[in-house]
Chains A and B, each alone.
Chain A
Amino acid sequence: MVDRAGQGSLSGSVAPARRGPVKRSILAEIRKNWTSYLFILPNLIGVLVFLAFPVVFALYMSFTEWDILTSPEFVGLQNYREMFTDDPLFWVSLRNSAYYVLLTVPTTLLIALGLAMAMNQAVRGIAFFRAAIYVPVLTSAVAVAFVWQWIFNYDFGLLNAVLDVFNLPSVRWLTSSSWAMISLAIMSVWKSAGYFAVILFAALQGVPKVLHEAAEIDGASAWNRFLNITIPMIAPALLFVTVISVIGSFQVFDQVYLVTGNGGPGTATYVYNLHLFNEGFTFFRMGYAAALAYVLFAILFVITFIQLRVGRQRASAAYEFE
């Protein structure tokens, strides 16, 4: 069963144009190119065992009640029903994650773009700055969490010390329900902006100089050139970065787990994956946790689909004059 499903999807991705009697053509192809298949076999087995099987098994799990120790009990759609009708924390955590995405994604993109533009300048010692921007990305999440816990500390933290210098009141960064999520977002932006900046920087380097020069001769201002040349030219990279950061932000877990523990204060930072983790590994409701995972997958699938649709339309519109 699993093997067949795996092969089916594999052939789908390898030769998407091919239609018709898939099964027979695969067999025929294998017979024809059996040595090639032999070469990819180790990887193929890896994909089937460690990727395809868990994905399919998790789907099955989501229709069961299972605590790992006793045998799973098939319950049909009960987990999904419970999620939508009888689990207030599902909605709370979904809302929190959406809020987190709204806080982090636009900010991260703007800052990453700004950093990328700055990295693209010919300044002395630029190599150092380019490397420095990437350091937060390389730092372990645990170390980052501990440092930021200190930065956010109410009594001795860096941020409140700075506010104090300007005679501004101290902020309860991590213990106030309204600030906690914002604080987490600040930390996440700091940690991940460098990663996206590097990708955008690479895209910026691919923008032909002649376009800028021609526009400059035509009298286009720097802002006009940025808007009408730079942005359209790096649109594919921007799209990629947006998609990746939306997915990443929706799946946030470690920062929250490390900084605010169980999503506190109250449920202010109780994000979706924290709920999933609690259900699965604290309450050992594996079936329910799998159902949560599949719902998140569906949400991300739809969001990504829309992004790609809209993004591609925009990108092709931008290239119309070429």
Chain B
Amino acid sequence: MVHDRLLGSPSARRSIRQIDRRTLLRAGAGAAAAAGVVGARSSAFSAPAHVRGGRNAAGQEIPGGEITFYFGANPDEAATRELIIGAFQEKFPQITVNPQVAEGDPVQELQTQFAGGAGPDVMMAWELSYSGLATRGVMADLSERIAADAEFAELVATDHEAELIAMFNWDGKQYVLPEQFAGVVLFYNKKMFADAGLEAPPASWEDTSWTWDRFLETAQALTVRDGDRVTQFGFADAWWMPLSATVIGTGNGGNWFDTYVDPAASTITDPNLVAGLQWYADLSNVHRVAPNAEEIATQAGPDMFMGGRAAMVLVGHWMYPAFSGVDGLEFEVAVLPLGPQGTTPKTDLGSTGLAISATSDMQDQAWEFVKFSTGVEGQTIIAESGLFVPVLKSVGQSAAYLDAHPAIQNATVFTDALAHSVPLPISAAWGEISAIWDRDLGAVWRGEASAEEVCANLEPQINDLLAES
């Protein structure tokens, strides 16, 4: 039976103090962005129908129509979306795509839109929250359409990371096709490394030399103190503490759920995971190489990196455009540190994708658009923009992708990470789980409790929520 406990949007409540990729996607995604998108489209895409256009892969004529496409984006990202929409409409001139940019929390917005019977035809879907909408019958099952299209099915089977496809397969149905990869990596300030005479951290996820100990030594060497006050931190978290620390824990061979798609039990007391959480908290509370809760409240991690107050930050590709826009900031990307019990460094299989509304009367048109965006054509546009990381392995190694990242040499750190990622939990109870998990782990970051105590207390609570969902 469907329980009414639903997904949450962890970002909604931390948006004021922290920047994560969701808040970033939302930043500036107001009416101005939407107006800009619409305006650009009417001028740029009124081009006449292309000769070969209007047919799908099987050569069948796709009927015309209008589809609404809901997504979260900042103005730059909305422009990239616009390029994809433009290219799609050139291929299918009979289909008009109306962009609808999220104005607030996407899950709340979609939920209310569908409740009011006015949901979009195609929507962006977030890994942590999509299952709640899918469970409620909002999303169409794409499995049959994929199976019916041999060429596309082949692409899905071979060019996608299997674990990522599986993460968007809920209840045996493929509700979402992945479009962007968002695993976190380590960004570091090249000049600070050079000044301290430090060796650069590795750019290969197969390299096992970047251990916790070496990371700590590096961070200590990069930390500059003026009396009691730290003027330059060796490291700063620029994502979301509980999830960042969990990713570090998975790099120590830890796991926080028995299985990641529809888990039945949490394994958050796994000693390897707990060690990662504690190690991450100790960076600030014991070693003072990272900002503590007060200092992060003063200046968020990304700002510290951009302002030259932190030498390394853990965050995803979504900060690349902002970092590369800072004058005089020379940075590079590297893999995350490897715990003593881990085999290779790990990151999270963070991803967003596209889904089709189950109630849309434009199923065929919506499908062509999703196929286009998540297929080679759309992925290439994404790669060329430099704003997102494509999910297709072939596109992730392409010159188009590498050329779009002139500020760094190691752009493949992002795309190679796909194969070294631990999935995120996909559960209809995630909203409630994340609320208590985020809240209780706060005591660890503030140095008030050990990760071991907090996790021992959390595990039964999370299991209760999983059992109820």
| Interface range on chain B (Cβ under 8 Å from partner) | 35 or more
- Which residue on A lies nearest to B296, using beta carbons? A175
A119 interface residue per 8 A CB criterion: no
- Which residue on B lies nearest to A68, using beta carbons? B115
In the complex, A285 Cα to B295 Cα: how many Å?
Answer: 36
Interface centre among A149, A154, A264 (most CB of B within 10 A): A264
Task: State which of A48-56, A276-284, A304-312 sits at the interface with chain B.
Answer: A276-284
Q: Which residues from chain B contact A66 at a C-beta distance below 8 Å?
A: 4
- Which residue on A lies nearest to B229, using beta carbons? A155
* Residue from B294, B295, B439 in contact with A262 in the complex, judged by beta carbons closer than 8 Å: B439
**Judging by beta carbons under 8 Å apart, are B13 and A261 in contact?**
yes
A271 interface residue per 8 A CB criterion: no
Return the CB mask of A55-68 against B: 1 if under 8 Å, else 0: 00000000001111
Give the Cβ gap from A151 to chain B, nearest Cβ, in Å: 13
**Judging by beta carbons under 8 Å apart, are A67 and B12 in contact?**
no
**Judging by beta carbons under 8 Å apart, are B17 and A278 in contact?**
no
**Judging by beta carbons under 8 Å apart, are A69 and B108 in contact?**
no
Q: Which residues from chain A contact B438 at a C-beta distance below 8 Å?
A: 262
Q: Which residues from chain A contact B112 at a C-beta distance below 8 Å?
A: 68
**Judging by beta carbons under 8 Å apart, are B6 and A284 in contact?**
yes
In the complex, A154 Cα to B299 Cα: how many Å?
Answer: 11
In the complex, A284 Cα to B469 Cα: how many Å?
Answer: 13
Return the CB mask of A265-297 against B: 1 if under 8 Å, else 0: 111000000000010011111010000000000
* Residue from A258, A263, A282 in contact with B8 in the complex, judged by beta carbons closer than 8 Å: A282
Give the Cβ gap from A275 to chain B, nearest Cβ, in Å: 10
Q: Which residues from chain B contact A266 at a C-beta distance below 8 Å?
A: 439-440, 442-443
A85 interface residue per 8 A CB criterion: no
Tell me the residues in window 112-168 of chain B with beta carbons closer than 8 Å to chain A beta carbons: 112, 114-115, 132-133, 136-138
A-B contacts at CB below 8 angstroms, number: 85
* Residue from B2, B294, B442 in contact with A264 in the complex, judged by beta carbons closer than 8 Å: B442
In the complex, A272 Cα to B114 Cα: how many Å?
Answer: 28
**Judging by beta carbons under 8 Å apart, are A65 and B442 in contact?**
no
**Judging by beta carbons under 8 Å apart, are B446 and A175 in contact?**
yes
**Judging by beta carbons under 8 Å apart, are B439 and A261 in contact?**
no
- Which residue on A lies nearest to B438, using beta carbons? A262
B293 interface residue per 8 A CB criterion: yes
**Judging by beta carbons under 8 Å apart, are B295 and A67 in contact?**
no
Q: Which residues from chain A contact B2 at a C-beta distance below 8 Å?
A: 70
Q: Which residues from chain B contact A69 at a C-beta distance below 8 Å?
A: 111, 114-115, 133, 136-138
**Judging by beta carbons under 8 Å apart, are A281 and B108 in contact?**
yes
Q: Which residues from chain B contact A283 at a C-beta distance below 8 Å?
A: 5-6, 8, 431-432, 435
Give the Cβ gap from A153 to chain B, nearest Cβ, in Å: 6
A198 interface residue per 8 A CB criterion: no
Give the Cβ gap from A318 to chain B, nearest Cβ, in Å: 47
Q: Given A68-B112, A267-B439, is A261 in contact with B14 using a C-beta cutoff of 8 Å?
A: yes
Interface centre among A69, A267, A285 (most CB of B within 10 A): A69
Give the Cβ gap from A110 to chain B, nearest Cβ, in Å: 31
Interface centre among A67, A153, A174, A267 (most CB of B within 10 A): A67
Q: Given A155-B294, A282-B9, is A65 in contact with B16 using a C-beta cutoff of 8 Å?
A: no
A225 interface residue per 8 A CB criterion: no
A156 interface residue per 8 A CB criterion: yes
* Residue from A67, A262, A284 in contact with B435 in the complex, judged by beta carbons closer than 8 Å: A262
**Judging by beta carbons under 8 Å apart, are A154 and B5 in contact?**
no
Q: Besides A69-B136, A264-B439, 17 other CB < 8 A contacts? A: A65-B4, A70-B137, A153-B297, A154-B295, A155-B298, A175-B297, A258-B16, A265-B443, A266-B440, A266-B443, A267-B439, A282-B431, A283-B6, A283-B432, A284-B6, A285-B4, A285-B5
Task: Give the interface of A toward B (CB within 8 A).
Answer: 65-70, 149, 153-156, 172, 174-175, 257-258, 261-267, 278, 281-285, 287
4 interchain residue pairs of minimum CB distance: A154-B294, A68-B115, A284-B6, A69-B136
